[in-house]
Amino acid sequence: MLDLPRARTINEPFRIKSVEPIRFLSASERARVVQAAGYNLFKVPAQDVTFDLLTDSGTSAMSARQWAGIMIGDESYAGSPSFQRFEKVVQGLTGMENVIPTHQGRSAEFLLMQALRLSKGDLVIGNTHFDTTRANIEHSGAEAVDLPCAETADTQLEAPFKGNIDLEALRQRLDISSHRVRLVILTATSNSVGGQPISMENIRSVRRILQPRRVPLFLDAARFAENAFFIRKRESGCQDRSVRDIARQMFSLCDGVLMSAKKDAFGNIGGFLAIRDSALAEAVRS
């Protein structure tokens, strides 16, 4: 009898209920596709792409319970039980009373910028704004300012939290023009620098800097669970805490949350705004 080495395999903890075929183009076919697109990857038809490393929204398989939830979902124009369940979950996770559902995260951004009545001369500071966030800020007339930490510039450097905001640069900007800074948004994880996480200490420090100046802090939380996992894995004193507990602490340091539910929530559509300030929430609703 042969003494074969024991294979180390990991079985996926789910059953696959649906399979979608994807195309495998030959080298010559791929060359024709990119030439026809003028070498602009945004113009390549999605059906000709085998491995899509650009799209990260609404591409995950939904669970059996999510699909079942669609079938039992209540479509009442007002007072929907589906919203009541959604609201309760978001309130329990974020600790914020005011929950406003949106069809996507980018619409949450648009509504917030309009409710804040941003205008020319105003500044919105971030670690590194996501492209739709920047577009919605600039659409309002304000300026989107990126203050990434120094480690971000070195792509070969292995640093645990390259999504952090530059705290000293933030202090300097506030000292120079604090009256112009209307909002600070931390994107967790920071998509525009390769999905790098923010540390809890960095969020806490930003909160300490902003609080006496009465500048609100919002979290772009599309990848909040992933960021919380990185905090648990990499930040001192967090290894024995649950991801949910770390996420709740992240939210507790913020005045509001912008969320696309098409990422860490594994939904194929949806998002929300969660806000502590009831007056601002009413402005958004209006």
> Both 142 and 36 in a single domain?
no
* 255 CB-contact burial (10 Å; exposed 0-12 / middle 13-18 / buried 19+): buried
Q: How far apart are CA 144 and CA 255, in angstroms?
A: 19
For residue 140, count other CB atoms closer than 10 A to its CB: 21
Range of the domain at 199: 79-285
> Is 224 within a domain?
yes
> Both 140 and 227 in a single domain?
yes
**What average pLDDT does the structure give for the chain?**
90
> Both 121 and 47 in a single domain?
no
Phi, psi of 220 (to 5 degrees): -80, 105
> Both 94 and 27 in a single domain?
no
Over residues 111-166, the pLDDT tens digits come to 999 999 999 999 999 999 998 999 999 999 999 999 999 999 888 899 999 999 99
pLDDT at residue 6 in the model: 63
> Both 115 and 213 in a single domain?
yes
> Is 165 within a domain?
yes
| 243-252 and 224-234 helices, crossing angle to 10° | 110
Residue 277's CATH number:
3.40.640.10
Side by side, which strands form the sheet with 181-187? 98-102, 271-275, 256-260, 217-220, 181-187, 123-126, 143-146
Over residues 230-275, the pLDDT tens digits come to 999 999 999 999 999 999 999 999 999 999 987 877 777 889 999 9
Task: At 50, list the tokens.
Answer: 């085998």
CB 119 within 8 A of CB 139: no
Torsion (CA) 100, 187, 189, 158 in degrees, nearest 10: -170
> Is 8 within a domain?
no
* Global pTM value: 0.85
Give the total number of structural domains in the chain: 2
